[in-house]
Structure formats: structure tokens, C-alpha cells
Structure 1
């Protein structure tokens, strides 16, 4: 399996992978939620590489539900210890998990772009069945970059939906260089934007990002 996995990719470790994780982080074995997580086959997510990660390892993480302190746990595995990988869930697939007050906004987002994907609290609750969502949760979304003209139209439509949404719409437009927060792209003074790639956060021009350039 290639190690070039994008941020937000959903992965499942093998049994040997979980053994390796607990060997890396023995304190995790003391948390019953981690044992339950592994036993249930719940996934991990690819995160951005940090300076402490070993070369050749895939940086991964999981976020625990708020009832467990909303911990964010960082681990890393060799590619041989990952048995499944998948893109973040489609918003359409996760929609039934969302609070009923969100459904109208989600319907509008799906009519705008059916390929919209989700991460964060909605994705974790959809994937695990554990309670992540609260009245104050954001809706975290990923939209694919297309042409600059189509993306500018998409951004305007997202902003209009966000103005009437009962929750905060957060998320990124994702291109070859990585992801950029949609609100940053739509800002009037956005000449340069921060691109979150698999290894680092880099600044490139808005025009270059929308053209599909890689820093």
C-alpha cells in the first residue's frame, strides 16, 4: 500500500497494528475506551505529519467523544499495518446521523454538490456510533477543487447557505496542494492562502491554488 495517503483518509489497522499502537503508547491501554475502540474495529484518520513522527510511518489520529474529554490522540503506523483505507465519508451517507435541525442545510449543501464529504464530529459519530455531536458542534466539510470559475461560484453558494445555517459551516476546498479553509478563500483580501498539506502548512497565492498548482 502506498504511504501517500491524504489528510482525513479513514484507515483501519490490523490486529498487529493495534498491538503496535499500544506498544508505542502504553498509557492508552489503561483507557477502556481505547480497548473498546480497537475491539469494535473503529477507524483512525490520517493527520498531518509532525516533527516527532518517524520517517516512513503514516501519521494517524483519533478524536474521542466529549464524554471522554474530547482527547485527540496521535499515533503512527507502518503501511503494512493498515488493512483498509477509504476517503472521508460522503455527507449524503452521514446525513441521517446529523441532528434534525441540520437536515435542511445538509439538503441544500447536497443539492449544491453531491460529492461533498464530511469529517470531524459528524463523521466520527457516523463511523463509530459514539456520541460526538452537541448543540455547539460545527459541520466540517470537504469540497473538491474544480476550475477557478466553478470554485468561486461554489464559494459564493456556500457563503449564502452558511448565513442561514443553524450551525457553523467549517471545512476546506481540497486541491492538489492540499486543503484551504473556504472562509479564507472567500475573504475580500485573500491574495495568499494557507494550504494544509500532508506534511506542512504552506502559503501560496489564491490564484495559484485555484489553478491546481502545488507549492
Structure 2
């Protein structure tokens, strides 16, 4: 897969050896960070695009690596060269989280994923559950949220998905469901905050984008938002 710029939050990237050499060049080889990054590189695991700070120079990209429990549960933040040699990917589809849930919840979880698909949303799982699926390392702890990325095309679709998630959240034993609605214009809103805002329980909502965030106080939200061209190709 060849990168097409610009990158967006939650996209996964795999660095080539040249890019890794640039990342590691300024680090002390005996440092914990260096050792963790070498281990990450050796496994071929991806990095995740984070919100981009305004002070980045042209051609730079900020990415993150959340370390597992065995590696100290730190989140490393890196500035990498944004080149066409990067391979791009996505977090696992939500239905794969079934393997990390109790057997008693498997059918309910798959049913929820199918209902989301019926409403036009192919959800992905990120956070602790997503990274444990990707790496096989220990990320999930007691009380860990199950975070979902929810691509939506319209406010109506978002409302329907939130209703599904709200009902599913009442299932006994299911981890707390969290995550973001992702609109075509790169706007991302926590689904629980969207629910509060749309119901009138909250007067403001936080909108995250790859290049910043803002608070929206008025209740107007366009039914359809402009599409931002995809930043990676399969």
C-alpha cells in the first residue's frame, strides 16, 4: 500500500527500515525508549497517526506507540518523516474483538456488529482491545473500555448507531463501550458526547480533527458533510 497524503487520525502506518533508522538515530541505545522501539520494529507492528501539532515542519508526521503492560504502559510520541515508503493500514474490524470477550458475550457482540453493518457502518476496534488484537500483547485490564471507531456519512446515521450502542451498553458483563463517530470531513466526536449533545443534555460538544480541535456550542449539524479524500489506498 502506498501512502497518499495527508494522513488522518487513527490511521496505522508501518515504517520501512530507512524511516526507522531516522527515528532511532537520536536516541541513546541503552535507553528504555530505544529498546522498546527496537522491539516494536522487530515485530513489524504499526504506529498510529495522532493529532498533529501546529509546529511540525513540512514533511513531518506525529505518530504514537502505546506500549503494553510488559513494556510499562507508556505512550511514546514520535516525529517521523512523511514519505511515500510508508505502508498504511486500519485498526481491526470490530467483530474480531469477539476473541477477547467472554464466550457468553460472543453472540451478542457479533449481533451488535452485524446491526452496525446493517446501518452502513463497518466499525473498527482501537484502544486496549485494538492493540491487543494487533500485537498479541497484554493491553486489556479490568475496567478497560472497548473503544470503537464508527465511520458515518450523516447525522441521521450517527443517531441510529448511537441508539444501538446505548442499548448494547446495558448488556451485563460487556466492557464499557466508548469511541468516536468519524465523519467524512475528518470531524470526530465521542459517541457518548454526541448522544448528550443531540438530546439536549449538553450544550456543547468537542470536535476533534487531525489538525486541531474545537468546541461547538450551537446545535446545528449538517446532515451531510464534505468528504475529505482518503489518505491511503489499499
Could you state the TM-score of these two structures normalised by the residue count of structure 1?
A: 0.87
Counterpart position of 1:135: 142
2:54–2:211 CA contact under 8 A, matched in 1 = no
1:46–1:61 CA contact under 8 A, matched in 2 = yes
Please say if 1:200 is aligned against 2:212. yes
Aligned to 1:6, which of 2, 5, 8?
8
2:92–2:124 CA contact under 8 A, matched in 1 = yes
Q: CA deviation at 1:5?
A: 1.3
Cα separation, 1, equivalents of 2:160 and 2:220:
15
Counterpart position of 1:178: 187
Q: CA deviation at 1:209?
A: 5.6
Q: RMSD value over aligned CA atoms?
A: 2.4
Q: CA deviation at 1:157?
A: 1.3
Cα separation, 1, equivalents of 2:21 and 2:211:
26
More displaced stretch, 163-172 vs 6-15 = 163-172
Cα separation, 2, equivalents of 1:19 and 1:94:
33
Cα separation, 1, equivalents of 2:47 and 2:56:
16
1 or 2, which has the higher helix percentage?
1
2:60–2:79 CA contact under 8 A, matched in 1 = yes
Residue 3 to residue 213, structure 1, CA distance change in 2 (3 Å): closer
Cα separation, 1, equivalents of 2:222 and 2:149:
15
Using CA pairs under 8 Å that are at least 6 residues apart, name the structure with larger relative contact order, 1 or 2.
2
Question: Which ranges of structure 1 fall in alignment gaps of 5 or more residues?
Answer: none
2:155–2:221 CA contact under 8 A, matched in 1 = no
Residue 49 to residue 131, structure 1, CA distance change in 2 (3 Å): same
Aligned to 2:98, which of 95, 98, 102?
95
1:102–1:167 CA contact under 8 A, matched in 2 = no
Residue 48 to residue 109, structure 1, CA distance change in 2 (3 Å): same
Question: Which ranges of structure 2 fall in alignment gaps of 5 or more residues?
Answer: 228-234
Cα separation, 1, equivalents of 2:20 and 2:7:
19
Q: How many residues align?
A: 213
Residue 86 to residue 125, structure 1, CA distance change in 2 (3 Å): same
Q: Deviations 1:14-39 (Å, cap 9, x if unpaired)?
A: 11111111124x14762333211111
